[in-house]
């Protein structure tokens, strides 16, 4: 296997958590609110449940094919050629998510914090740092998340607690105003974002206790769902659904709302810290997963030389496909869920079913 590093369960949890946090810090809450209105938090809960169900499949596959990630077991299950064709979709998907994340992150930084700085400078720097970390390997990323993850979790919860005085409960009422349809449609939207955690299948073989895969995913998604749910519910409770649904980063607006006894205010830098920190680390692990997956498909000894080219490819995707934040939001809202649902659920369930039918098992 190209990656030599080993991670422990704790690092596993925080790595997954950081990926969800990035999405929570970006547009996901407002997209959810647009879809599900006041019931958006219910979508988060149901998506959390479905994602845990999905994680069972991933964890089972991780145990059924010990020491193999989905790129490898798709080759084991489907054979050399078809398996490779299916397997390459996973790394490409990670590259796509990386593009989306860094584009979204740079847009927020550019519009809110560094308006004079050319957008491309922020974007390129983010890619450069991500690739730099990604090339260092999984252990480096894991150790970073172990430090940053708890910090971010704590900061988000603190931010949410501090904006509580601004919440008007009546803006969250009535629940289920339009029936259950809006929140049911919101569920897949949220699920596809939680679903980026299918990267767990890349980590399971490298975890010192692969059998803890499900537990790790469960804890990470629970914490992530708490964070996304809090941000979503608070945004509705504070801004009302009409304004919240069009916000580019509701979490940031929440941080801007903090005015604690008129002395603790202007703490949105905390949100910037969370956004940039988690965004960069998450993208670096996505780049790592891309490199690792591609190296395994082609059968390379090392994945490191592929990280910088991967980052560059992702950058070209960004520049070519998302000339503005509007394009990115549009893509994120309408195209990404379809792609993600196909890769995260469709492909994996297909592999799962095929493995059962053909009765394939891992070598070990």
Partner 1 sequence: MSIAEAADPKGSRVWNPLIEVGVLEEDKHMTVLIVFAALAISLAEGIPLGKQGQWKELAVMSTLLGMTILLAAGNYLGLPSPLSLLERLLEPIGKAIFK
Partner 2 sequence: MRKLALILVCISLLTTGCWDYQEVDRLATVLALGIDRIPGSKNVLLTVQIGKPEGKGSSKQIGGQGGEKSYIIMNSEGKSLSEAILSIGKQSTRRVVLSHCKTAVLGRDLAEMGIGEILDDLKRARESRRTNWILTTDKTAKEIIEKDISLEQLPGRGLDHILQNFKKAGRVVPMNFNDFFARLNGESHVSFTPLAQLEDIDKQVTNQLEKVVGRSLDTEEKPKTLTIGKTAVFKNLRMVGVLNEDDTRAHKWLVDSPKGSSITLAYAPQAQTNGDKGDIMFEIEDGQTTITPHISEEGITMNIECTTKVLIHELGATGVNVLDPKVVAQLELQTAEAMKLQLEHTINTAQKELKSDCVGFAENLHNYYPLEWKQIKDNWDDVFPTVDYQIFCKVKILSSGTISNPTLRSEPE
Calpha distance 74→71 (Å, rounded) = 5
Q: Is 321 in the site for partner 2 (CB under 8 A)?
A: no
Residue 243's binding partner among partner 1, partner 2, none (Cβ under 5 to 8 angstroms by kind) is partner 2
Q: Would you call 157 exposed, middle or buried from its count of C-beta atoms within 10 A (0-12, 13-18, 19+)?
A: middle
Q: Is the dihedral of CA 124, 127, 131, 132 positive or negative?
A: positive
Distance of CA 95 to the CA centre of its chain: 12
Smallest gap from Cβ 126 to partner 2, in A, equals 8
Q: Is 120 in the site for partner 2 (CB under 8 A)?
A: no
Q: Is the dihedral of CA 151, 154, 159, 160 positive or negative?
A: positive
Phi and psi at residue 359, to the nearest 5°: 55, 50
Among residues 151, 158, 170, which one has the least CA distance to residue 274?
Answer: 151
Residue 104's binding partner among partner 1, partner 2, none (Cβ under 5 to 8 angstroms by kind) is none
Residue 137 zone, left/alpha/beta (φ > 0; ψ -120 to 50; rest): left
When the beta carbons of 174 and 299 are compared against partner 1, the nearer one is 299
When the beta carbons of 169 and 363 are compared against partner 2, the nearer one is 169
Query: SS3 of 264, please?
Result: strand
Q: Is 50 in the site for partner 2 (CB under 8 A)?
A: no
Per-residue contact flags (x/-) with partner 1 for residues 28 to 57, judged by CB under 8 A: ------xx----------------------
- Return the half-sphere exposure (C-beta side, CA atoms, 13 A cut-off) of residue 194: 34
Per-residue contact flags (x/-) with partner 2 for residues 207 to 246, judged by CB under 8 A: -------------------------------xxx-xx---
Calpha distance 299→302 (Å, rounded) = 9
Which one among 114, 215, 300, 312 touches partner 2, defined by CB under 8 A?
Answer: 114
Q: Is 165 in the site for partner 1 (CB under 8 A)?
A: no
Measure Cα distances from 344 to 20, 141, 202, 253, 273 in Å.
15, 23, 13, 31, 29
Instruction: Give the number of other CB atoms < 10 A from CB of residue 235.
Output: 29
Q: Is 257 in the site for partner 2 (CB under 8 A)?
A: yes
Q: Is the dihedral of CA 46, 103, 147, 197 positive or negative?
A: positive
Q: Is 276 in the site for partner 2 (CB under 8 A)?
A: no
Cis peptide before 174 (omega within 30 of 0): yes
Q: Is 359 in the site for partner 2 (CB under 8 A)?
A: no
- Return the half-sphere exposure (C-beta side, CA atoms, 13 A cut-off) of residue 140: 14
* Cα–Cα–Cα angle for 98, 200, 140, rounded to 5 degrees: 70
Calpha distance 340→54 (Å, rounded) = 13
CB 33 within 8 A of CB 241: yes
When the beta carbons of 149 and 195 are compared against partner 1, the nearer one is 195
Tell me, by CB under 8 A, how many residues bind partner 2: 34
When the beta carbons of 301 and 364 are compared against partner 1, the nearer one is 301
Which one among 136, 157, 313, 354 touches partner 1, defined by CB under 8 A?
Answer: 313
Stretch that binds partner 2, among 13-21, 52-60, 170-178, 194-202 (CB under 8 A): 170-178
Q: Is 92 in the site for partner 2 (CB under 8 A)?
A: no
When the beta carbons of 227 and 257 are compared against partner 2, the nearer one is 257
Q: Is 121 in the site for partner 2 (CB under 8 A)?
A: yes
Smallest gap from Cβ 171 to partner 2, in A, equals 6
When the beta carbons of 72 and 248 are compared against partner 2, the nearer one is 248
Q: Is 139 in the site for partner 2 (CB under 8 A)?
A: no
Binding site for partner 2 (CB under 8 A): 111-118, 121-122, 124-125, 128-129, 132, 135, 166, 168, 170-171, 173-174, 177, 238-240, 242-243, 253, 256-257, 259, 262, 265
Residues forming the site for partner 1 (CB under 8 A): 34-35, 96, 99, 118, 120, 124, 185, 188-189, 294-295, 298-302, 304-306, 308-310, 312-313, 315-317, 319-323, 330-331, 333-335, 337-339
């Amino acid at each position: 296997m190209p990656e030599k590093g080993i991670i422990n369960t704790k690092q596993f949890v925080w790595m997954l958590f950081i990926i969800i946090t990035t999405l929570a810090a970006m547009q996901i809450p407002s997209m959810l609110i647009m879809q599900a209105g006041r019931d958006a938090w219910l979508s988060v809960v149901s998506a959390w449940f479905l994602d845990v169900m999905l994680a069972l499949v991933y964890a089972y596959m991780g145990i059924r094919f010990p020491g193999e990630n989905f790129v490898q077991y798709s080759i084991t299950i489907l054979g050399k050629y078809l398996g490779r064709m299916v397997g390459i979709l996973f790394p490409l998907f990670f590259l796509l998510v990386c593009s989306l994340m860094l584009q979204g992150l740079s847009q927020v930084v550019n519009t809110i914090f560094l308006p004079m700085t050319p957008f491309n400078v922020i974007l390129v720097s983010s890619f450069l740092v991500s690739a730099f970390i990604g090339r260092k390997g999984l252990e480096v990323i894991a150790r970073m998340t172990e430090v940053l993850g708890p910090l971010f979790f704590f900061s988000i919860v603190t931010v949410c607690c501090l904006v509580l005085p601004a919440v008007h409960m009546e803006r969250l009422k009535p629940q289920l105003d339009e029936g259950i349809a809006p929140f049911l449609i919101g569920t897949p939207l949220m699920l596809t974002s939680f679903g980026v955690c299918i990267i767990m299948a890349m980590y399971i073989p490298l975890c010192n206790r692969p059998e803890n895969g499900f537990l790790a995913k469960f804890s990470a998604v629970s914490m992530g769902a708490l964070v996304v749910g809090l941000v979503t519910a608070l945004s509705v409770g504070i801004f009302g659904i009409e304004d919240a649904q069009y916000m580019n980063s509701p979490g940031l607006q929440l941080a801007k709302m903090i005015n604690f006894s008129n002395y603790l205010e202007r703490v949105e830098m905390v949100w910037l810290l969370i956004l940039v920190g988690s965004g960069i680390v998450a993208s670096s692990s996505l780049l790592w997963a891309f490199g690792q997956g591609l190296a395994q498909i082609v059968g390379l000894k090392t994945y490191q030389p592929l990280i910088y080219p991967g980052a560059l490819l992702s950058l070209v995707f960004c520049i070519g496909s998302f000339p503005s934040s509007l394009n990115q939001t549009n893509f994120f809202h309408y195209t990404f869920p379809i792609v993600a649902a196909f890769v995260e659920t469709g492909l994996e369930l297909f592999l799962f079913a095929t493995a059962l039918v053909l009765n394939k098992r891992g070598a070990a």
